[in-house]
């Protein structure tokens, strides 16, 4: 019941109805996937969410998609979120995503100040850009055994292939989308690579971004 | 026009689809409408509409003239002037920017100018808020502008194109606001199918207005002189002008529906005209809302029906003119109406709720109407609120109660 926010509990006290809603929504929206990206302002989470829904749309399986940032002012460097819904049915939900099915942590260092992982659905999927092994990460952050966990060290990939903005700022979003495709097989890597190449076709970085995504896809550790 | 039961906002004919924010969907529509003049002042969450247009102009994709101004009041003033000379005009604003235009809005409507303005709806300060509700647009409902509310980004693109066609209709010549929820649509990307430029050009030929002063450079005319209380020597008085404005805006309902039919046969997409039904065929209870409030109500329908409550959603797309007869027709078989307003007509109740009652009053079939105030200043309006409000309203109806005080959901009282 911890997910019910204060506003809601104030006006709505019949909790049995809430359970009915949760059960019903599982059946009615069986082909709805809600995704949350967490990172720092400027790390490309919003672009990642947009590229993701475009790839999902392009697969043909998900004709109804939406991507949106946390509404309001954004600050470079501060922990921020971006969200996506992909669905086989028309999307009517216009609210924030409180309990995502899949969570992407663009930068593990935010976990020192905020911990969004607790909002992930039981049985959900977690993808983190972090060094080290997947088992150590699960132990360190107490990730629930029901959660499928993927770890990829994007900073190392960026250093290896020189995927940087201005030579010194690592690009996180395109590699993490490559890794995403390994965890979420409904979006094949080649569909994602096409979207990435199209996005960066203007600035000559298409091939390098696609390479980063491919390496991340291949080097992802899953448990 | 028959009540449309499912919205058909989906890509159909294999046209070009882009994943766009609501703001950029509006910018693309303005570009393809071959707008001549854009004048706007930046305000969150509207700014990206005009930023994108300035990119189109810079890249040569659009040949409009951008007028940079120091305020929204000046933005509307320059839109009015440009339109009078014979230019197709576009602007966009939000919240206090729209409020700042108020005086000029009345000039635009009184001069019968076919302007199109996107209102990216946002709460009115104070206190300061950049998030959505419908208060800004609702507060301008009596200026003589037409107002349409959109539910998704495809509808924004389509409605901007339709709006020019309605505004420039020979029998209308009135300005129109295309309203859509700030952030919820303005900053959210969704697939949007764009028409080809040829298709848009066919649908929307060159600018049509009763005033094109650039064609009359050699015969100067006065626009909007002082108009006396009584008619004189063949000149109408103020009241005659205002009578014609009201009679014209009443006609806009039929014109809007005709144009929606034309647009549907061109695009394969149909947004239902002035009102849109969802699961209304067998509904006992109609949930009424506009924009995001109506979307969220649709999300609640399967849950309500699973609990044996036969509810449907009636989306009010055209708020001004208020389509009274169409609403009565759509509600003729329901026992009860539940209204969710993201606005307050302060000192009364939610605006949609109040107007809906006036549409039903003095008629044979008068379903029980209960309104709720929800989602002000960006507060999430959740599926649970829809369900809870509907059940509360059912209890009132059961006991035959009609509370005078407003009911609010999702607020710390």
Q: pLDDT tens digits, residue range B330-356?
A: 999 999 999 999 999 999 999 999 999
Q: Are residues B259 and B304 part of one domain?
A: no
Q: Answer whether B325's CB lies under 8 Å from B298's CB.
A: no
Within chain A, residue ranges assigned H as helices are 6-11, 15-28, 45-59, 134-141, 154-161, 173-183, 189-199, 206-219
Is the pLDDT assigned to residue B7 strictly greater than 70? no
Helix (H, G, I), strand (E, B) or coil at B268: coil
Q: Are residues B348 and B257 part of one domain?
A: no
Domain assignment present for residue B385? The answer is yes
Question: Inter-chain contact A53–B19, Cβ cutoff 8 Å?
Answer: yes
Q: What is the CATH number of domain A30-222?
A: 3.40.920.10
Return the pLDDT at A42: 86
Chain A nearest-CA residue for B8: A90
Least confident window among A16-30, A55-69, A133-147, B169-183: A16-30
Angle in degrees, CA B405, B410, B413, rounded to 5: 60
For residues B136 and B123, give the distance between their C-alpha atoms in angstroms, rounded to a whole number: 6
Q: Are residues B362 and B380 part of one domain?
A: yes
Strands of B176-181's sheet, edge to edge? B65-68, B37-40, B89-93, B116-121, B176-181, B146-149, B318-320
Q: Are residues B108 and B197 part of one domain?
A: yes
Q: Are residues B305 and B181 part of one domain?
A: no
For the segment A187-191, the average pLDDT, to the nearest whole number, is 98
How close A19 comes to chain B (CA, Å)? 11
For the segment B308-331, the average pLDDT, to the nearest whole number, is 98
**Chain B contact for A69 (CB, 8 A cutoff):** yes
**Contacts of residue B19 in chain A, CB cutoff 8 Å?**
50, 53-54, 57, 65, 67
Return the pLDDT at A126: 98
Domain assignment present for residue B3? The answer is no
Is the pLDDT assigned to residue B291 strictly greater than 50? yes
For the segment B39-59, the average pLDDT, to the nearest whole number, is 97
DSSP state of A111: G
For residues B213 and B257, give the distance between their C-alpha atoms in angstroms, rounded to a whole number: 30
For residues B114 and B172, give the distance between their C-alpha atoms in angstroms, rounded to a whole number: 8
Return the pLDDT at A8: 34
Chain A nearest-CA residue for B295: A92
Q: Are residues B312 and B200 part of one domain?
A: no
Q: Are residues B145 and B21 part of one domain?
A: yes
Q: Residue B273 corresponds to which tokens in the numbers above?
A: 């005209």
Domain assignment present for residue B220? The answer is no
**Contacts of residue B191 in chain A, CB cutoff 8 Å?**
57, 63-65
**Chain B contact for A198 (CB, 8 A cutoff):** no
Is the pLDDT assigned to residue B233 strictly greater than 70? yes
CATH number at residue B79: 3.40.50.970
Domain assignment present for residue B72? The answer is yes
Q: What is the residue extent of each domain of chain A?
A: 30-222
**Chain A contact for B376 (CB, 8 A cutoff):** no
**Chain A contact for B187 (CB, 8 A cutoff):** yes
Q: Are residues B63 and B134 part of one domain?
A: yes
For residues A213 and B159, give the distance between their C-alpha atoms in angstroms, rounded to a whole number: 39
Chain B nearest-CA residue for A15: B384
Strands of B368-373's sheet, edge to edge? B275-278, B311-316, B285-289, B336-341, B368-373
Question: Inter-chain contact A94–B302, Cβ cutoff 8 Å?
Answer: no
Q: Residue A109 corresponds to which tokens in the numbers above?
A: 């260092």
CATH number at residue B376: 3.40.50.920
| pLDDT tens-digit readout, B79-130 | 999 999 999 999 999 999 999 999 999 999 999 999 999 999 999 999 999 9
Least confident window among A205-214, B4-13, B52-61, B321-330: B4-13
Q: How confident is the model at residue B14 (pLDDT cuts 50, 70, 90)?
A: low
**Chain A contact for B308 (CB, 8 A cutoff):** no
Domain assignment present for residue B121? The answer is yes
In order, the DSSP letters of A157-211 are HHHHHT-EETTTEE--HHHHHHHHHHH-TTS-HHHHHHHHHHHTGGGT-HHHHHH
For residues B46 and B22, give the distance between their C-alpha atoms in angstroms, rounded to a whole number: 10
Domain assignment present for residue B386? The answer is yes
Domain assignment present for residue B35? The answer is yes
Domain assignment present for residue B406? The answer is no
| pLDDT tens-digit readout, A51-110 | 999 999 999 999 999 999 987 776 777 888 999 999 999 999 999 999 999 999 999 999
Domain of residue B332 covers 275-398
- Give pTM, 2 decimals: 0.93
Q: What is the number of domains present in chain B?
A: 2
Question: Inter-chain contact B187–A69, Cβ cutoff 8 Å?
Answer: yes
Return the pLDDT at A18: 38
The CA-to-CA distance between both ends of chain A, in Å, stands at 28
Q: Between B295 and A17, whose confidence is greater?
A: B295
- What percent of chain B has a predicted confidence (pLDDT) above 90? 93
How close B400 comes to chain A (CA, Å)? 22
């Amino acid at each position: 019941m911890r997910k019910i926010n204060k506003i809601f509990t104030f006006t709505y006290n019949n909790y049995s109805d809430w359970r009915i809603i949760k059960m019903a929504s599982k059946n009615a929206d069986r082909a709805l996937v809600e995704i949350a990206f967490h990172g720092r302002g400027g790390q490309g989470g919003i672009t990642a969410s947009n590229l993701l829904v475009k790839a999902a749309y392009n697969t043909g399986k998900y004709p109804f998609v939406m991507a949106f940032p946390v509404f309001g002012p954004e600050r470079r460097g501060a922990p921020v979120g971006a969200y996506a819904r992909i669905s086989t049915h028309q999307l009517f939900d216009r609210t924030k995503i409180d309990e995502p099915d899949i969570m992407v942590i663009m930068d593990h260092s935010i976990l020192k100040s905020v911990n969004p992982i607790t909002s992930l659905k039981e049985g959900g999927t977690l993808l983190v850009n972090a060094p080290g092994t997947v088992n150590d990460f699960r132990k360190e952050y107490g990730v629930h055994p029901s959660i499928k966990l993927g770890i990829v060290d994007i900073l190392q990939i960026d250093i290896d292939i020189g995927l940087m903005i201005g030579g010194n700022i690592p690009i996180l979003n395109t590699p993490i989308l490559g890794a995403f495709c390994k965890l979420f097989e409904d979006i094949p890597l080649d569909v994602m690579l096409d979207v990435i190449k199209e996005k960066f076709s203007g600035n000559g970085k298409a091939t390098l971004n696609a390479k980063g995504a491919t390496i991340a896809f291949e080097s992802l550790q899953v448990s | 026009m028959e009540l449309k039961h499912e919205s058909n906002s989906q890509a159909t004919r294999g046209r070009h689809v882009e994943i766009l924010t609501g703001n950029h969907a509006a910018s693309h529509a303005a570009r393809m409408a071959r707008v001549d003049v854009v004048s706007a002042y930046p305000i969150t969450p509207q700014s990206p509409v005009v930023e994108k247009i300035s990119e189109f102009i810079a890249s040569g994709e659009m040949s409009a003239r951008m007028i940079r101004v120091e305020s929204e009041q000046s933005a509307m003033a320059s839109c009015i002037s440009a339109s009078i000379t014979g230019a197709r005009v576009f602007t966009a604003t939000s919240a206090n920017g729209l409020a700042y235009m108020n005086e000029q809005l009345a000039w635009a409507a009184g001069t019968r100018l076919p302007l199109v303005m996107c209102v990216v709806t946002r709460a009115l300060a104070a206190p300061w808020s950049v998030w959505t509700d419908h208060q800004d647009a609702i507060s301008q409902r009596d200026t003589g502008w037409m107002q349409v509310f959109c539910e998704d980004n495809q509808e924004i693109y389509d409605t901007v194109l339709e709006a020019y066609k309605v505004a420039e209709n020979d029998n209308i010549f009135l300005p129109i606001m295309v309203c859509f929820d700030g952030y919820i649509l303005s900053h959210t990307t969704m697939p949007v199918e764009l028409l080809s430029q040829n298709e848009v050009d066919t649908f929307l030929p060159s600018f049509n207005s009763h005033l094109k002063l650039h064609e009359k450079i050699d015969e100067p005319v006065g626009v909007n002189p002082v108009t006396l209380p009584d008619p004189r020597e063949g000149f109408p008085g103020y009241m005659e002008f205002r009578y014609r404005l009201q009679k014209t805006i009443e006609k806009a309902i039929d014109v809007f529906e005709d144009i929606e039919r034309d647009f549907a046969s061109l695009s394969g997409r149909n947004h239902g005209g002035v009102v849109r039904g969802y699961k209304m065929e067998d509904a006992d209870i109609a949930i009424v809302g506009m924009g995001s409030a109506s979307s969220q109500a649709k999300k609640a329908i399967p849950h309500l029906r699973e609990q044996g409550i036969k509810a449907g959603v009636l989306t009010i797309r055209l708020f001004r003119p208020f389509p009274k007869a169409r609403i009565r027709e759509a509600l003729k078989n329901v026992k009860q109406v539940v209204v969710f307003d993201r606005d307050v007509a302060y000192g009364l109740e939610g605006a949609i709720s109040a107007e809906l009652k006036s549409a039903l009053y003095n008629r044979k079939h008068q379903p029980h109407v209960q309104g709720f105030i929800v989602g002000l200043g960006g507060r999430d309006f959740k599926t649970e609120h829809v369900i809870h409000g509907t059940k509360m309203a059912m209890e009132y109806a059961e006991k035959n109660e009609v509370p005078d005080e407003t009911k609010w959901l999702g607020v710390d009282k």
